Chain A
Amino acid sequence: MQIHDQPSLKAEARNLNFYYGEAKALKNINMPIYDKKVTALIGPSGCGKSTYLRSFNRMHDLYPGNRYEGEIRFFPDNTNLLSPDVDPIEVRMRIGMVFQKPNPFPKTIFENVAYGLRVRGENNKRALDDKVEQALRGAAIWDEVKDRLQDLAPNLSGGQQQRLCIARALATDPELLLFDEPTSALDPIATGAIEELVHELKKRVTILIVTHNMQQAARVSDYTAYMYLGEMIEFGKTDEIFIKPQDKRTEDYITGRMG
């Protein structure tokens, strides 16, 4: 690879370990996350990929007994996201998350998106209107909901709810978006819409996505990491991982030779 092809770093895990109480769920993870690229995390259930993803926005802080070791560096400011001095709320403003099941608030479509902005202290109606529209457009759902912004969000279809959740995550203008199996509850058409959206979003935001669907990882990501039993087995360009993986364990997993 030539030097100028190397994208810049958005984040980097360095010697990252994670414990659920006594159980070690992540074992010395070292991995770059490249800026404005899509990185997919694949691996069998229980391999630690969701645990790893959730470390980025300090989700584990919500439960007692969880413990991090090592660092996740976030650039350009080179903050260690895991440092006790860093406020998790601040982290979550910069790092948005979309979950497996769409989880809109039981509020209107507008309020779902405006919520994060209000938390941040934005109360100007015109500014809220603009930013909500921008976020809904960014999530490719504006045309479908612009005439019913005051409807309740849970009345939307599953695929629309998921795009609304993406709009909600986009509203605070995050630098990194975490997707935890974002399409596993959706039909193929809605899945296609989300994948297309991911492709659009990476023009302005870095994306880290956990997926069980290997073809999805192959379609949407620029880089792929294969995890197994809490370890990072292989990280590389998606094109290379899916055609010529270096590690036999990666090969066995992506060719369907192990569960």
Chain B
Amino acid sequence: MNESQHLSSQFDEDLSRLRTHVLQMGGMVETQISAAVVAYATGEIGSVKSIVDTDHKVNELEKAIDDDCAHIIAKRQPTASDLRLVLGISKIVTDLERTGDEAKKIAKGVRRIYENGHVPSQFGIGVRHLAEAAIVMVRQALDAFARLDTEQARAVIRADSEVDTEFKSIIRQLITHMMEDPRTITTSIDIITIARAVERIGDHAKNVSEQVIYIVEGRDVRHTGKGSSK
């Protein structure tokens, strides 16, 4: 990645503002997930509304960043690392916005569970652990983007398969619960929805990391299974 200055300082400013906005958006999404996980663990469902409200802001930011990307392409005709940065960002914001949507899904699922008078922890399921792993992935993916660190990006890609494995194990446990006691079905389905959303968050963090590798190295590692290694 090229860190030297452009002849046009205006162009440098445009790109730097773009990156700042992506990190700002990432920060908002990270807060959304954390708040949703706290609500899951503690039953403080008062935060659900603010998670949903934040999602509107995340959506607006996605549109604004995409618009900035279009302007930079139209006005500056970026090439090479600049082009890859703009293209990568345009894809990253899509993943971040969807991560925000998943956080919203978690929050709403949590609210349903507690409103029905249940407590998810009584199921003894490792959703919280899974969610914490996903939050770390999101944070590391954003760090990898901020520092254009492909080692970090590759670590996130490797972590995703662990999250996927754990998600499958949670589903198996919940199916057992439901078969043993059909009264748990409603809540189990809500927990499945939540676990599924967490698993998707891991996928989005992985996608962000793949874009970081593209931005830095110009290699498209999507769908190759090769993203986690050099």
The answer to whether B79 touches A257, judged by C-beta atoms less than 8 angstroms apart, is no
Q: Are B6 and A243 in contact (CB under 8 A)?
A: no
Known A-B contacts A243-B84, A243-B218, A244-B218; A254 and B4 likewise in contact (beta carbons under 8 Å):
no
Q: How far is the CA of A248 from the CA of B1 in the complex (A)?
A: 10
**Chain B: CB-nearest residue to A251:** B80
Q: Is the CB of A255 within 8 A of B77?
A: no
Q: Mark B68-84 against chain A: 1 for CB-CB distance below 8 A, else 0.
A: 00000000011111111
> Who on chain A is nearest to B2 by CB?
A251
The interface residues of chain B, by DSSP majority, are classed as: loop
**A218 touching B79 in the complex, CB below 8 Å, given contacts A256-B6, A257-B7, A259-B7:** yes
**B2 and A255 contact, CB distance less than 8 A:** yes
Q: Which of A215, A250, A256 has the most CB of B within 10 A?
A: A256
**B5 interface residue (CB < 8 Å to A):** yes
CA distance A215 to B79 in the complex (A): 9
What are the residues of chain A within 8 A of B4 when measuring CB–CB?
Answer: 252, 257
Q: In the complex, what distance in Å separates the CA atom of A218 from the CA atom of B80?
A: 11
Contact residues of B between 52 and 87, Cβ < 8 Å to A:
77-84
Report yes or no: B83 in contact with A257, Cβ–Cβ below 8 A.
no
* Dominant secondary structure of chain A at its interface with chain B: helix
Measured CB to CB, the nearest residue on chain B to A244 is B218
Chain A residue total in the interface (Cβ 8 A): 17
Interface assignment of A197: CB less than 8 Å from any CB of chain B: no
Q: In the bound complex, do residue B5 and residue A257 qualify as a contact, i.e. CB atoms below 8 Å apart?
A: yes
Q: Is B8 an interface residue (CB 8 A)?
A: yes
What's the minimum C-beta distance from A9 to chain B, rounded to whole angstroms? 27
Q: With A257-B2, A259-B7 known to touch, is A215 a contact of B77 (CB < 8 Å)?
A: yes
CA distance A255 to B78 in the complex (A): 7
24 A-B pairs whose Cβ atoms sit less than 8 Å apart in the complex = A218-B79, A242-B79, A242-B80, A243-B80, A243-B83, A243-B218, A244-B84, A244-B218, A248-B2, A250-B80, A251-B2, A251-B80, A251-B81, A254-B80, A255-B79, A255-B82, A256-B6, A256-B7, A256-B11, A257-B2, A257-B4, A257-B6, A258-B7, A259-B7
Give 11 A-B pairs besides A243-B80, A248-B2 with Cβ atoms closer than 8 angstroms. Answer: A214-B79, A242-B79, A242-B80, A243-B83, A243-B218, A250-B80, A255-B78, A255-B79, A255-B81, A257-B6, A258-B7
Q: A residues near B, CB below 8 A? A: 214-215, 218, 242-245, 248, 250-252, 254-259
